[in-house]
């Protein structure tokens, strides 16, 4: 394979991404193409055409692809983080339109009990160039304890001229908290149903949420997750 670098004034633009070189201009490059000692009497065509597709670029997020299993009573504190969290991809516009994210090669860990971090390559995207070949990743892992309690459901933002009652009025709350604990988080959580949720509900059922989670609570479950709401006008 022969690589020849043309001077910019030799390449002429015809239209869009189409360029051409005249055979008369190629004469001076003959020794580069065919080697010294070879003379070219004529070319079969007087013009050589080339296409150089226009390239655009856009920034897309990096999505880590990972599978992690944990030792007993250990879990991730949140989703895996990557740096950089986005990359620039370059290519023809029609190819860029179909790309919304860059994926890492699979990351796999088993029986994890502490933070994990490392470097991983990005999957190639056919027809496109990516600004980075790899990214750094980190996943924070904590030991947790599970606390369970039954707590009354409170209502919020109910208009002064209305009353709202929920059934059941007590729900079971399960907290997963980072170890060691600081106090009893169950004493600080308040299962709540917001009146605005009732207004948007077609069935009268509303989701129960825990507002202002105490520090150290990694995740929670509420059973049941929905309660029946009855709203009445006050006389």
Domain count across the chain: 3
Does residue 121 sit in the same domain as residue 80?
yes
Domain contains 2: no
Out of 139, 156, 181, pick the residue that ends a domain.
139
Does residue 111 sit in the same domain as residue 68?
yes
What DSSP state is assigned to residue 122? B
The bridge status of strand 66-70 relative to strand 107-112 is parallel
Which of 92, 89, 93 minimizes the C-alpha distance to 124?
89
What confidence tens digit (pLDDT) does each residue in 124-136 have?
999 899 999 999 9
Whether 3 has a pLDDT exceeding 80, the answer reads: no
Domain contains 1: no
**Band (230; pLDDT cuts 50, 70, 90):** very high
Range of the domain at 17: 12-51
Domain contains 125: yes
What confidence tens digit (pLDDT) does each residue in 169-214 have?
999 999 999 888 878 899 999 999 999 999 998 888 999 999 888 8
Bridge partner residues of 173 (DSSP): 149, 222
Q: 80 with 24: CB under 8 angstroms?
A: no
Does residue 217 sit in the same domain as residue 168?
yes
Residue 214 CA from chain centroid, whole number: 27
Cβ atoms within 10 Å of 210's Cβ, excluding its own: 20
- CATH number where 127 lies: 2.170.120.40
Does residue 32 sit in the same domain as residue 81?
no
What confidence tens digit (pLDDT) does each residue in 105-149 have?
999 999 999 999 999 999 999 989 999 999 999 999 999 999 999
Does residue 36 sit in the same domain as residue 73?
no
């Amino acid at each position: 394979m022969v690589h020849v670098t043309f001077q910019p004034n030799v390449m002429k633009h015809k239209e869009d991404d189409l360029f051409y070189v005249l055979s008369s201009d190629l004469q001076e490059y003959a020794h580069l193409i065919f080697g010294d000692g070879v003379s070219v009497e004529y070319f079969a065509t007087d013009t050589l055409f080339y296409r150089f597709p226009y390239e655009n670029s856009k920034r897309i997020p990096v999505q880590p692809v990972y599978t992690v299993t944990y030792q007993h009573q250990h879990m991730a504190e949140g989703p895996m983080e990557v740096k950089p969290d986005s990359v620039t991809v370059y290519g023809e516009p029609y190819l860029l339109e179909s790309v919304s994210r860059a994926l890492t090669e699979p990351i796999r860990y088993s029986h994890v009990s502490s933070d994990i971090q490392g470097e991983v390559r990005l999957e190639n995207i056919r027809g496109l160039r990516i600004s980075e070949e790899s990214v750094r990743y980190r996943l924070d892992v904590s030991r947790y304890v599970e606390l369970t309690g039954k707590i009354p459901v409170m209502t919020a933002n109910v208009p002064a001229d209305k009353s709202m009652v929920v059934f059941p009025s007590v729900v079971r709350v399960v907290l997963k908290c980072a170890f060691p604990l600081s106090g009893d988080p169950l004493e600080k959580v308040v299962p709540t149903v917001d009146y605005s949720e009732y207004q948007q509900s077609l069935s009268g059922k509303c989701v129960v949420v825990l507002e202002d989670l105490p520090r150290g609570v990694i995740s929670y479950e509420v059973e049941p997750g929905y309660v029946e709401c009855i709203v009445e006008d006050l006389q």
